[in-house]
Amino acid sequence: MLTTKAAVLREAGPDRWWRVEEIELDEPKAGEVLVRFLAAGMCHSDDHIRSGDSPGRLPLVGGHEGAGVVEAVGAGVTRVGVGDHVICSFIPVCGTCRYCSTGRQNLCDAGANAMTGCLPDGTFRFHSGGEDLGGMCVLGTFSERAVLSETSCVPYEPDLPPELAALVGCGVTTGWGSAVYAAGVRAGQTVVIFGIGGVGINAVQGARYAGAKHVIAIDPVPFKLEMAKKFGATHALSDPAQARELVVELTRGQLAEHAILTVGVMNTEVVRQGAEMVGKDGQVTVTGVGDYELGVPGGLMTLYQRRFHGALFGNANPLHDIPRLLGLYRSGDLRLDELVTHRYRLDEVNDGYRDMLAGKNIRGVIIHGES
C-alpha cells in the first residue's frame, strides 16, 4: 500500500478547515490509474463542502481540478498509459450509459459517486487508521497522488503548464460552456453574467468568443470587475439595479437575451435579478449552486416566454471540449495564464481558500511538484 500527503476534511461547518495529513492509498485496480498530481485548482465547490453549504460524505480528500502524470495502470486500461500527462475531469465519461450514448456526456451516470468519493465498484482507495476516505468528485486532487477511474482522465500535451491544464478540468470548461453551449450565445446578443469568479470569468470569455455585442459583468469586488474587462466584458458593474438600467439603455428596452448566474453561493434574489435582465424569449442559465428557490412569478416565464436552464459542466463533453479549449489557448483565443491569481503549497490550502472568500483570487492553484 502507498502513502500520500493530502488535504482532508473530517468535519463540515463555517469554522472547520482542511487538515493536511499522511494517508494510505491503494494500488489501482482494473480500469483504474495511479496519478501523481502536479497542480490542483481551488474551486469554490470544495469550499461548499467544507462550509456545509453542500452535503458530502466525510471524511473527504478535497480537490476536483487537477493535472498530473500517470504512474501506474490497472488491468484493462486503454484510455491512458504510464507516463501520460492527464487532466482530471470532475465529470467522468464512461461512453456507454444512456447519457453518453446520446451526446450528453456531462450527465454521465458514472458521476453518481461525486459526493461520496468512492470508485465505480463502490469501494474507496484513500484510507486512514482503518477508515475509508472519499475523493471529491471521485478525484481528490488535493493529494500528492490518487487512484482514479480511467473515465476521469483526459490526456494533454506535457508542454502546457500543469497549473493551467488543471483549470480546464472544471472552472474554465464550466464557464465557457455555460455561455457557448448551455446558453447558446450568438453574435450580436446581449449577455449579463452574475459572479466573476473562476467560472464566471470564463463565461465572460465564452460570451465574447461567441460574438456577443454586449457582455455585462456583475460582481461586488472591484478586482474581479477589472479582470472581467480584461477577459472581454464590455461593461462591469457592482450593482444589479444599475446593470439593469444599462441593459435597458443598450437594448432600447428589449433587455438581454441571456443572464448567466455563476455566483459562488446562489440565492433566490440573484435568480430574480437574472430573470429581470432578460426580455422576451430570453434565457436564465443557472450554473451556481446553493440552497435557493427560483422564486419567480409564473407570468414572467409564460407571458415573456422566458426559460430557466440548469447547467452542469456548461453542457460540455470532457473528452471533446477539454482538448478543444486547450487548442483555443494555443491559438490565442482563450486566456488561461491570467486566471491563476496565486499559487500555494499543499499545506497552504486554507490560506488559499481564505483568499478566495476575501475576493482576492480568480483562481488559486496548489502546486504539488515538478513534471
What are 277-336's pLDDT values in tens digits? 999 999 999 998 777 777 777 777 788 899 999 999 999 999 999 999 999 999 999 999
Q: So what's the pLDDT on residue 288?
A: 81
Q: What is the 3-state secondary structure (H, E, C) of 120-171?
A: CCCCCCEEECCEEEEEHHHCCCCECEEEEEHHHEEECCCCCCHHHHHHCCCH
Contact 261, 270 (CB under 8 A): yes
Q: What residues pair up with 260 in beta bridges, in sequence order? A: 193, 285
Both 121 and 267 in a single domain? no
Would you put residue 316 in left (φ > 0), alpha (ψ -120 to 50) or beta? beta
Both 75 and 103 in a single domain? yes
What are 46-78's pLDDT values in tens digits? 998 998 888 889 999 999 999 999 999 999 999
What are 196-239's pLDDT values in tens digits? 999 999 999 999 999 999 999 999 999 999 999 999 999 999 99
Count of structural domains, the chain:
2
Cβ burial of 127 (10 Å; 0-12, 13-18, 19+) is middle
Both 187 and 305 in a single domain? yes
Domain that holds residue 128: 2-168+336-367
Question: What mean pLDDT is predicted for residues 362-370?
Answer: 88
Both 213 and 269 in a single domain? yes
Which alpha helices (H) appear in 44-121, and where do they start and end? 44-51
CATH code of 237's domain: 3.40.50.720
**Has residue 371 got a pLDDT over 60?**
no
